[in-house]
Structure 1
Amino acid sequence: MSSIQSQFLDLTAHNTCYDAIDPQVALKDSASDKVIFIAGASKGIGQATATAFAQAGAKAVYLTARSEEALKETQNLVRTANPNTRCAYAVCDVTDARQVEAAVKDCAAQFGAIDVADANAGYLGPWVKIGESDPEGWWRNWEVNMQGSYHVIRYTLPHLIESAKTRGAEGRSGGHLILISSIGAQFVMPGASDYQTSKHAINRLCEFVQSDHDEDGIKCFAVHPGGVATDIGHSMPAHMHEYLVDDPSLAASFAVWLSTGDADWAKGRYLSANWDVTELTALKPEILRDDLLVNRLRAKA
């Protein structure tokens, strides 16, 4: 498999934003006419993503999360990053389909479109063995991580399809959908059955979105955002905290890059924000030829 390993790519790893994905340099104005919908935008990676799209010149950024106070903070950061980027928000629990539907409708009504959707809301509970787990707590991971992502997908897709159609007719790329996965999706670690299986399912859900809506012009990605010292990151056992070395700006800038169209060839796949995008692009022929970075059962040694 050349430089391709069975689970990961042997690429230069980054821990923070770098020149090739810098929304204020290489990607400056790349989002100038786009409307961005972000679920889970109140803090951490979601907040950084909202700011990064504003720095890249987004027409508008629509924020959702459960905390209005935190949403106002993100809104202020967006306005500071780019006074010309319009910004609105809705208090929204992604596990509630009606709330997500209402937020999406409000976004489209205010800004006229949705060109990029980022399902960033997530949850990680205590790590315990399945036989010792709390059923409600175990399932909460799936409600937020999987059901929440589904709701964002379901209600933004009609708008993303329209974006892909409209922008495609003009020779531009639109209809980008980013699902937050995790490197944990590729591991089996004691006590992490709820979180890691939900993230593994996100990877497969990404593939189904692409299978169902490739003809509609949708480009869906399942993204590991790096090891970031967010509330979710700190919910891991203490011995795992040494891996929380990545800045939120890395995943945020990576999301902007995914939305430029430069990564459209990698649609329907699992990608890591840590991977150097120039080196990743160089592996395009091999990745497409061998259908890599997707969930598959290995049946041969």
Structure 2
Amino acid sequence: MSPTLGQLNSNHFTNFVSNLHTEPYAAIDPTKAKLSSPYIVCIIGGSGAAGGGLARAYARAGASGVILAARSVPKLEEVAKEVRSINPSAKVIVTKCDASSDEDNAKLAETVKSEFSGRLDAVVVNAGYSGPMIPDVVQEAPSDFQNSFDVNVVGPFLAAHYLLPLLMASEKGAKSFITISSIMASRVSGPYVHVSYAVSKAAMTRLTEMIHEQYGSRGLFSASVHPGGMVSDLAKVAPPEVLPFLVDSPDLVGAFTVWLSKTDAPQAQRDALTGRFLSCKWDVSELEGKYNEILEKDLLKFRVAVD
């Protein structure tokens, strides 16, 4: 039996706010975001659907420097061309980077130093891996489990290891470290919830929480973001019956991420949302009304229930 939209989308996390979006809207319009000058963003996984949406959003917001990193340079060049057409004054750097490679992440940090004198305002880790959506641990390939953790967990760790020092050292920088997670991180059952992807994305989200615990008091903003359901490279492993539900624009996660990492983000926003698991689909005006509740109850974090 094919899944229903309700089965795919219904849980407490998805419905944390009642008003959900599929496209960018006025409150998160990147062209209205205030970014510092200079403002340098590094997008790891800077190609594909979400990568393109992220790059376009930062270009529209006026980022002065955009570093696009991924394994496929030709795909990155396509995104770089879009960025330059939107923001001709931006300096766009394309660099080959396997997210799970220690050497490549170290080289990425050296690229920031050489091309932008070490200036770095935001890092967005968008690289992701998913094997076939097989909800059976016996049937899932061990290689898919290993690859999921290499890209989805080791990748963000390496990005933090090499790039956090640059974020923290950038004077008056946005100091934002954002990982692109998945609604699957919050699930253990349901249609097409497969172990390798769900567990690795949950680990990514937990890693982001720990980064907040270690660096939040020093001014770092960090968050994990569900990017919505879009037609992307990862959708190639999805069963055909899932595709009609992939209706979210890649530009939505881009606009939401810029909204999170803009230089003039209100302190109340940064205080309430840092270290937490968020959805780009949530209406931010409604989300703002929940800041006190989020802080008082310490919501949107992974926890073990003991009573």
* TM-score between both structures, scaled by the size of structure 2: 0.89
2:69 match = 64
2:194 match = 192
Is 2:187–2:193's contact at 8 Å kept on the other side of the alignment?
no
* Percent identity for Structure 1 against Structure 2: 33
| 1:281 paired residue among 279, 288, 298 | 288
What CA distance in whole angstroms lies between the structure 2 residues aligned with 1:22 and 1:230? Answer: 22
Is 2:128–2:152's contact at 8 Å kept on the other side of the alignment?
yes
What CA distance in whole angstroms lies between the structure 2 residues aligned with 1:239 and 1:287? Answer: 35
Is 2:17–2:286's contact at 8 Å kept on the other side of the alignment?
no
What CA distance in whole angstroms lies between the structure 2 residues aligned with 1:225 and 1:155? Answer: 24
| 1:232 paired residue among 234, 247, 255 | 234
- What is the deviation of 1:142? 0.8
Equivalent AA in structure 2 for residue 178 of structure 1: I
1:247 match = 249
Q: Which runs of 4+ in 1 moved over 6 A?
A: none
- What is the deviation of 1:191? 5.5
1:182 match = 182
For residues 108-187 of structure 1, the aligned pairs below 5 Å read: 108-112=113-117, 113-128=119-134, 129-163=136-170, 166-167=171-172, 174-187=174-187
| 1:90 paired residue among 85, 89, 95 | 95
2:212 match = 210
What CA distance in whole angstroms lies between the structure 2 residues aligned with 1:7 and 1:148? Answer: 25
What CA distance in whole angstroms lies between the structure 2 residues aligned with 1:269 and 1:119? Answer: 15
Equivalent AA in structure 1 for residue 241 of structure 2: H
* TM-score between both structures, scaled by the size of structure 1: 0.91
Give the superposed CA RMSD.
1.5
Q: State the secondary structure of the residue aligned to 2:30.
A: coil
Q: Do residues 44 (structure 1) and 49 (structure 2) align?
A: yes
Q: State the secondary structure of the residue aligned to 2:138.
A: helix
Higher mean alpha-carbon deviation, 68-77 vs 131-140, is at 131-140
1:170 match = none
What CA distance in whole angstroms lies between the structure 2 residues aligned with 1:111 and 1:7? Answer: 38
Q: State the secondary structure of the residue aligned to 1:194.
A: helix
1:7 match = 13
Is 1:184–1:199's contact at 8 Å kept on the other side of the alignment?
yes
What CA distance in whole angstroms lies between the structure 1 residues aligned with 2:257 and 2:161? Answer: 20
- What is the deviation of 1:10? 2.6
Is 2:130–2:144's contact at 8 Å kept on the other side of the alignment?
no
Q: State the secondary structure of the residue aligned to 1:132.
A: coil
What CA distance in whole angstroms lies between the structure 2 residues aligned with 1:240 and 1:185? Answer: 18
CA offsets per residue over residues 250-277 of structure 1, 9 Å max, x none? 0000110001224312100000000011
Q: State the secondary structure of the residue aligned to 2:123.
A: strand
What CA distance in whole angstroms lies between the structure 1 residues aligned with 2:125 and 2:291? Answer: 25
Q: State the secondary structure of the residue aligned to 1:124.
A: coil
> Residues 237 and 32 of structure 1: is their aligned pair in 2 closer, same or farther, counting only changes over 3 Å?
farther
Higher mean alpha-carbon deviation, 145-154 vs 268-277, is at 145-154
2:3 match = none
What CA distance in whole angstroms lies between the structure 2 residues aligned with 1:7 and 1:50? Answer: 26
Where in structure 1 are there 5+ consecutive unaligned residues?
168-172
2:261 match = 259
- What is the deviation of 1:31? 5.2
CA offsets per residue over residues 65-111 of structure 1, 9 Å max, x none? 11111111111111001001110111110111111110121123211
- What is the deviation of 1:238? 2.6
2:27 match = 20
For residues 23-34 of structure 1, the aligned pairs below 5 Å read: 23-24=30-31, 26-27=32-33, 29-30=34-35, 32-34=37-39
Where in structure 2 are there 5+ consecutive unaligned residues?
1-10
Higher mean alpha-carbon deviation, 180-189 vs 234-243, is at 234-243
Is 1:95–1:147's contact at 8 Å kept on the other side of the alignment?
yes
> Residues 256 and 32 of structure 1: is their aligned pair in 2 closer, same or farther, counting only changes over 3 Å?
farther
- What is the deviation of 1:119? 0.3
Is 2:17–2:283's contact at 8 Å kept on the other side of the alignment?
no
- What is the deviation of 1:179? 0.4
